[in-house]
Structure 1
Amino acid sequence: MSQRIIDPRIRLRHIACFLEVARLRSMAGAADALNISQPAATKTIQELEALLGGQLFDRSRRRLALTAFGEVFFRYASTSLAALRQGIDAARGAHDAAMVRVGALPTVSAHILPDAVRAFTHDNSGVTTRIITGPNGYLLSLLRTGDVDIVIGRMAEPNAMVGLSFEHLYSERVVLAVRPGHPVLSEPEFNLRLIEGYQTLMPTPDSVIRPVVERILLAHGVTQLRDEIETVSNAFGRSYVRQTDAIWIISEGVVADDVAEGRLDLLPVDTSETLGPVGFTTRTDTPATLAATSLMQAVRDVAEKLRRAGY
């Protein structure tokens, strides 16, 4: 029985520091987030590695990356911390002050979530709704540590779904958006290689649609993008494209309302091969709270309305 007891030298500060470094992929960033010095963060990780008997991070790159050993530990450490937080909240009666925390990719934040949250808050007065947006990897790390209850967005790659489950809501494609009157719209025979003559807004390397975008560009022989800008900011992308001749490669849901209202146009290119599932990602080991379950149903209702409308 004694062999099953957790090494008492492993403290909560070790786990918290490890999860922050894994989430931010930076020792300095984790130190700032935890309000400690960088040498203290480095020492804490070194202590944990010594206690576990293995290297948690690959330090050979500019940004830290989890080793295979670290990936295994991360899955269990993040799940354990999330369960501990839920237990503390329940013991303190925090469930009475209900809150639902949602991680949402930009496409969902712009298109699906506003109507869903409006309906949810109408029927659930007194419940605080917290919306966090960002790249998929960041949101999944928050889900694993219990900092969000659900993530709504595209399904992640299989190797990122260990310990998580996905519920499909609808599918959407990647599109290329430009301002009305953009020169390329007047081309008599459009082909995708024409975008090489214009500045391009691309999803960031850690975004879930980046590999999809890269595949379709390569398939159409697009290899020389000009003055590429990487962003996941809806506000920046929308403003920049409307003021310039830049071309914005983005999930359709982000710009659907702009296109419908004539503020943006889509380039006439078949992107059906970029169609991908959008839905809920949740932890398999933790049941959803009543508030989260209610919000999820509101999202399902909005998604169903969009399907019926032909979206």
Structure 2
Amino acid sequence: MGHVLDPRIKLRHIACFLEVARLKSVAKAAALIGITQPAVSKTLQELEHLLGTALFDRSRRSLVLTASGEIFLRYAAVGVTALRQGVHSIASASSGSVLVTVGALPTVSARILPRAVERFAAQGLSARARIVTGPNAYLLSLLRLGDVDFVVGRMAEPEAMIGFAFEHLYSERVALVVRAGHPLLAHDPFDIAMIENYQVVMPPPGSVIRPIVERLLIANGIGRLRDEVETVSDAFGRGFTRSSDAVWIISEGVVAEDVADGILATLPVDTAETLGPVGLTSRVDTSLTLPAQALLQSIRDVAAKRR
């Protein structure tokens, strides 16, 4: 007979473990859950005692999962996801409406999702869409915990894709954009080194395109920028670039309509080396609901037309 689950392991233990694993911080998890840091630490210690093994390596500045912690995370996340899906299914059956939650990077939030959600809504399903945006690492953590059904955006680094499947939709490159009438647009020939004389809006460390942008700059002889502003907010980047002489380095999909409308302009820089895949990331261990599959297909259809 197989091992019986220790009845002393409660859902609060699992939920606390998952949040600390996601945030890599007891303090951040405590603030999110709404309990004290000592209470979080005690809950983790109880879980480790019940499992008979350490789940976190506490010798570093941020908490890192041990090998046992990695294994437990995989199964705990699946279990909590299944439980959440069950709760959502009951709630949906009661309300008559299914919620489909999508994690989206800014590039698809601006270019693909609006039209995809329109197509999805036009199908008349008893379902509604919720769009969650943020940095790629944050969205993947939500996906791993089952808080979003799938993620749309650039493919993450291989080590971050364990347990996930990626479906390629199209490829796009990074662009350097400025406001219409910007002084740099008058230079012919143009040298990318000229951007060092201006504020540059950059994706922050941890964002999926930051390493790509850094490689582009280094390849063109640009080391540390003199005046750099970091943001993942396309609303801030758009507003700041339109009202200043800043240079915004961003995925071209985010600013495609602004460029087409003549509000922003692309600097003549060869960014072919930044071309990267954009697509759908989903978990390999769970199945999507029919409404989630319908929204997924709408995204595929819109992306196909974009190609």
TM-score range, shorter-chain basis? over 0.9
Write the letter of the residue equivalent to 1:43: K
Contact 1:57 1:70 in 2 (8 A): no
Q: Does 1:27 align with 2:33?
A: no
**3-state SS in 2 of match to 1:123:** coil
Write the letter of the residue equivalent to 1:247: V
Summarize deviations over 1:79-116 as a string: whole Å, max 9, x none: 22112222344456648431111011111101100011
Contact 1:169 1:277 in 2 (8 A): yes
Counterpart of 1:214 in structure 2 is: 214
Contact 2:54 2:66 in 1 (8 A): no
**3-state SS in 1 of match to 2:122:** helix
**3-state SS in 2 of match to 1:165:** strand
* CA distance in structure 2 between the aligned counterparts of 1:57 and 1:88, rounded to whole angstroms: 33
* CA distance in structure 1 between the aligned counterparts of 2:289 and 2:168, rounded to whole angstroms: 20
Counterpart of 1:70 in structure 2 is: 69
Question: Tell me, which stretches of 5 or more residues in structure 2 are unaligned?
Answer: none
Write the letter of the residue equivalent to 1:215: R
**3-state SS in 2 of match to 1:226:** coil
Question: Tell me, which stretches of 5 or more residues in structure 1 are unaligned?
Answer: none
Contact 1:173 1:276 in 2 (8 A): yes
**3-state SS in 2 of match to 1:169:** strand
* CA distance in structure 2 between the aligned counterparts of 1:174 and 1:271, rounded to whole angstroms: 6
* CA distance in structure 2 between the aligned counterparts of 1:140 and 1:20, rounded to whole angstroms: 13
Counterpart of 1:79 in structure 2 is: 78
Q: Which moved more, 1:20-29 or 1:170-179?
A: 20-29
* CA distance in structure 1 between the aligned counterparts of 2:59 and 2:303, rounded to whole angstroms: 43
Counterpart of 2:203 in structure 1 is: 203
Write the letter of the residue equivalent to 2:306: L
- Structure 1's 306 and 14: CA in aligned 2 closer, same or farther, altered over 3 A? same
* CA distance in structure 2 between the aligned counterparts of 1:124 and 1:287, rounded to whole angstroms: 22
* CA distance in structure 2 between the aligned counterparts of 1:241 and 1:166, rounded to whole angstroms: 33
Q: Which moved more, 1:66-75 or 1:245-254?
A: 66-75
Q: So what's the TM-score if we normalise by structure 1?
A: 0.91
* CA distance in structure 2 between the aligned counterparts of 1:69 and 1:191, rounded to whole angstroms: 52
Contact 1:108 1:152 in 2 (8 A): yes
Summarize deviations over 1:215-264 as a string: whole Å, max 9, x none: 11111111131221111101100001111111111111100000000010
Counterpart of 1:187 in structure 2 is: 187
Counterpart of 2:166 in structure 1 is: 166
**3-state SS in 1 of match to 2:180:** coil
Contact 2:177 2:266 in 1 (8 A): yes
User: Pairwise CA RMSD of aligned residues?
Assistant: 1.9
- Structure 1's 71 and 198: CA in aligned 2 closer, same or farther, altered over 3 A? farther
* CA distance in structure 2 between the aligned counterparts of 1:151 and 1:123, rounded to whole angstroms: 21
Counterpart of 1:266 in structure 2 is: 266
Aligned-residue identity in percent: 61
- Structure 1's 131 and 291: CA in aligned 2 closer, same or farther, altered over 3 A? same
Counterpart of 1:128 in structure 2 is: 128
* CA distance in structure 2 between the aligned counterparts of 1:55 and 1:126, rounded to whole angstroms: 41
* CA distance in structure 2 between the aligned counterparts of 1:293 and 1:219, rounded to whole angstroms: 41
- Map 1:1-311 → 2, pairs under 5 A: 1-2=1-2, 4-52=3-51, 53-58=53-58, 60-61=60-61, 63-90=62-89, 94=93, 96-307=96-307
Q: So what's the TM-score if we normalise by structure 2?
A: 0.93
Q: Which moved more, 1:117-126 or 1:241-250?
A: 117-126
Summarize deviations over 1:159-185 as a string: whole Å, max 9, x none: 111111111110111111111122222
Contact 1:49 1:56 in 2 (8 A): no
Write the letter of the residue equivalent to 1:284: V
Write the letter of the residue equivalent to 2:151: V
Contact 2:213 2:274 in 1 (8 A): yes
Deviation of 1:8 after TM superposition, in Å, equals 3.2
Number of residue pairs the alignment of both structures matches: 305
